[in-house]
Structure 1
Amino acid sequence: MRIAFGAPFVARALAPLLLLVPLLAHAAEPAPNEVQIRIDERQYRAAGIEITRVEAEAGTTQTILPGTVSVPPQQLRVVAAPAAGLVEAVLVAPNEPVKAGQPIARLRSTDLLEAQRTYLQALSAERLAAEKLRRDEQMHRERIIAERRLLTTRADYDYARTTLQEREQMLALLGMAEVDIRAVRDQRRMVPALTVSAPADGVVLEVRTTAGERIAPAAPLFSIAQLDPLWITLQLPLAQANAIVPGTRVAVPGTPAQGEVVRLGRSVDPNTQSLAAVVEVSDGAEALRPGQVVSASVALRPNGTPQWRLPSGSVVRHAGQSWVFVRSSQGFRARPVVVIAETASTVSIRASLTAEDQVATRGILSLLAELTEVYGG
């Protein structure tokens, strides 16, 4: 027996299906940040592509990264020899704390004697010019000399005074304290030795000279640093670059040292394919030593994006991003993800996936080639 259906009945029966057509078409379209790779079942089987279902994670709160402790550049002072001479005595030792102005070395220098000699000459010339100016001003008031002579005398005095200031500044640049310069001026007696002083509070990291050594001008003598705060330069894998931002908290396990990321490098080390992330340790810096290699625990802030665990070969790098290939009805969708942590066998990512999604784990070179062709790079 055959049952015939009229046109109105067919229209009513197909109406719900017709309403689903736009929704299915919309669902088939990739998101703006995804790339659709069209490949059928036979092709992806032939390419040796294997897929697996994603595994949800509760959320990794930290990752461990290697780093090296260093002194911030603005806290490091290199004390150089102010003049050529003979090191008479070294007054501090490595790792010794010093205060600003504390004597750290004595230096005998012929350059210092020459600078004092020219200073005393300039001092005599300035006093002579001052006396001549005083006398000519008196004679000009009494109308004995012309104004032109007074102007010449005044110019000579200005030159003598400027020369004296220059010579005095030279003594200061050579490291003489103001009280010592005043003693040379008042007593007119030269001193053969120069005291080198610490420029700031800190710790002597390095002593680069010894007593009895002859040194050249500007030769480095000491390295002095303030050791609070300190920096830790982390080696951040390129795949994890998007997971860490300035302000991310960092701790050194087993020590009270804590701080936060203050700067992310823009260049990549060609040998390790890693970025430099600079951490400023503001708490517990006394537990660290410059040059020390540490393993730092980096706290990752949750951002509302689900976190998943995949086999380590599931994630590829392309065009400055990390990608996974999600199975779809038309093949695969290349979806950008943020890598949180990696081990030899697994990788943790943050991505907008669902528990039903399946990603490619093997044979993904063919998919990467398609991504390169479509996305560019």
Structure 2
Amino acid sequence: MKLTPATRIKASAAAICLLLTSSGFIFPAVAAENTITISQDYVNNLGIVLGKLKPAKQIPLLTAPAKVVIPPGHEYIVSASQAGLITQLNAALGDTVKKGQVLAQLNSPDLLSMQRLYLKAVSEMQLSDFSYQRDKKLAAEGVIAERRWQETSNLHNTIVSEANEYKQLLEIAGMSNEEINKLTQTRQLSSLLSVHAPISGVVMDRMAATGERMSILAPLYRIANLDELWIEINIPHEHIGQIKVGDQVQIENSPIYAQITLLGQSVNPENQTLLARAMIKDSKGLIKQHVSVRAGESINTQIIQASDKVVFKVPNSAIAQNEGLPYIFIRSQDGFTVSPISVIGKQGDESIISGNLSGNESIAIKGAVALKANWLGLGAE
């Protein structure tokens, strides 16, 4: 004879009854279809554990795939500002560097020409300054004509501008103010060019090797500040209306949370998803502590929304299913009351539920399977 699901349930319940009866226990009776009469000793022997409903303020809406990206303003390409031969590389992939730290040194012949032009401009500026101060004094005494004073002043301003121009070119080439001041004082040319880190961060990529001859603006390193990361989430089309800016995002298998800051204005025609951007601010150093979040990584996320409804959080083990509907077992004076609920969402090993609940109830958080068998087995008699 073929067994139907209902017959199997009855058979399972009967087996449990037989086992417990043979062990010396008296199987309790059911007063009504939604009530289980059961003694405390029987509860203890079945291993039923009671717990309280935990109020929940947030509801998990959905899970969605995402990718961790670096914000544009937090990523820099360090390049060779002048053509030259790499003589030294001081940072490797994954190293943490500080702003201003010397990352590399290049031997650049072009730098010598720039330094020479700068020193020449400085000499001309010093000579011009002498003439400027002299004619300024003579003009004040009325010894020279106003026209001559204007010519001297204009020429001096032009020479000063040229000197400043050459100084800025050295700064663009990568020389620091300290190095330029030393060059001005010692007048000793040097072809060695130091490449400094523009920000504090982590070396994400090294694109050159020692001994390599680099052209001007050739990339050497890629550095990123990882104190802030973005999560780009692909929201399915059917859930677009549920998501809003400000919703929280939890990364799977990680204690790190992010917050949605932007919702895209167009849907991807290939997969009918909407791009949502969430931001992680690593104020507590969580990104560095947990390897589950890395730039460029594909991850799974759960979007969580604040709830204005009365909802509760319970372990998944507290929920029993019957004919596709979820139930929990509420402790009563004589046993348990079977209460129908709605499961709003799941978060790990817990579920968010709602129903005709006050929040003060004690429920079975373990042993729901045994209670379900009790309920269905006697209810069918």
| TM-score, normalisation: structure 1 | 0.63
The secondary structure found in structure 1 opposite 2:175 is coil
SS of residue paired to 2:87: strand
Tell me what 2:300 maps to.
295
Hey, what does 1:186 align to over in structure 2? 185
Q: Match of 1:196, as an amino acid?
A: V
In structure 1, how many angstroms separate the alpha carbons of the residues matched to 2:139 and 2:295? 69
Q: Within 2, Cα distance between the matches of 1:299 and 1:145?
A: 82
Counterpart AA for 1:295: N
| 8 A contact 1:243–1:300 mirrored in 2 | no
- Tell me what 1:123 maps to: 122
For residues 182-212 of structure 1, give each alpha carbon's deviation from its aligned partner in whole angstroms, at most 9, with x where no partner exists.
Answer: 0110111111111001011100101111111
In structure 2, C-alpha distance between the alignment counterparts of 1:290 and 1:217, rounded to whole Å: 29
Distance in 1, matches of 2:281 and 2:113, equals: 47
Q: Find the aligned partners of 2:125 and 2:59 in 1 and give their Cα distance.
A: 76
Aligned residues: 250
- Kindly provide the CA deviation profile for residues 51-79 of structure 1, in whole angstroms up to 9, marking residues without a partner as x: xxxxxxxx963311101111111111111
What SS is found at the alignment partner of 2:165? helix
Give ranges in structure 2 of 5+ residues lacking alignment.
1-57, 310-343, 346-381
Q: Over aligned residues, Cα RMSD in angstroms?
A: 2.2
Structure 1 SS opposite 2:94:
coil
Give the corresponding residue for 1:285: 287
Paired with 2:136 and 2:306, the residues of 1 have a C-alpha distance of 78
Whether the 8 Å contact between 1:104 and 1:197 is mirrored in structure 2 is yes
Check conservation: 1:63, 1:300, Cα contact below 8 A.
no
The match for 2:212 is 213
% identical aligned pairs: 32
Task: Answer whether contact 1:207 1:221 (CA < 8 A) is retained.
Answer: yes
Q: Aligned residue for 2:100?
A: 101
- Counterpart in the other structure of 1:327: none
CA displacement 1:241-299 (0-9 Å, x = unmatched)? 11111111111121121111111111222221111111112353332111111111111
- CA distance in 2 between counterparts of 1:60 and 1:131 reads 77
Matching residue's letter, 2:146: E
Partner-residue secondary structure (3-state), 2:267: coil
In the aligned structure 2, how far is the partner of 1:303 from the partner of 1:76? Answer: 39
- Structure 1 residues 153, 244: closer, same or farther in 2, change over 3 A? same
Contact 2:60/2:302 (<8 A) preserved: no
Counterpart position of 2:266: 267
Q: TM-score, normalised by structure 2?
A: 0.62
Shift of 1:148: 1.5
Letter in 1 for 2:228: P
Q: Which amino acid aligns with 2:117?
A: T
CA distance in 2, matches of 1:142, 1:241: 81
The correspondence of residues 4-43 of structure 1 with structure 2, limited to 5 A, is none
In the TM superposition, what are the counterparts of 1:188-207 in structure 2 within 5 Å? 188-207=187-206
1:202-351 aligned at under 5 Å gives the runs 202-282=201-281, 284-286=286-288, 287=290, 288-302=293-307
The alpha-carbon deviation at position 143 of structure 1 amounts to 4.5
Structure 1 or 2: more strand by fraction: 2
What amino acid does structure 2 have at the position aligned with 1:297? Q
Amino acid at match of 2:301: A
**Structure-2 change in CA distance of 1:143 and 1:239 (3 Å):** same
Q: Distance in 2 between matches of 1:140 and 1:75?
A: 55
Q: How far apart in 2 are the matches of 1:243 and 1:138?
A: 78
Contact 1:68–1:233 at 8 Å: present in 2 too? yes
Partner of 2:162: 163
Secondary structure of 2:281 counterpart: strand
2: CA distance between counterparts of 1:302 and 1:239?
A: 20
Deviates more, 1:223-232 or 1:130-139: 130-139
State the alpha-carbon separation in 2 of the partners of residues 300 and 140 from structure 1: 77
The answer to whether the 8 A contact 1:229-1:285 is kept is: no
Q: What SS is found at the alignment partner of 1:266? A: strand
**1:230–1:285 CA contact under 8 A, matched in 2:** no
Q: Distance in 2 between matches of 1:173 and 1:60?
A: 53
Find the counterpart in structure 2 of residue 134 from structure 1: 133
Q: Secondary structure at the match of 2:265?
A: coil
Q: Which runs of 5+ in 1 are unaligned?
A: 1-58, 305-339, 342-377
Q: Is the 8 A contact 1:96 1:204 kept in 2?
A: yes
> Using the alignment, how far apart are the partners of 1:251 and 1:61 within structure 2?
9
Three-state SS of the structure 2 residue aligned to 1:279 is strand
Kindly state the Cα deviation for residue 92 of structure 1 after the two structures are TM-superposed: 0.1
Change (3 A) 1:260 1:143: closer
CA distance in 2, matches of 1:282, 1:193: 39
CA distance in 2, matches of 1:154, 1:97: 51
Cα gap change, 1:120 to 1:274, in 2 (>3 Å): same
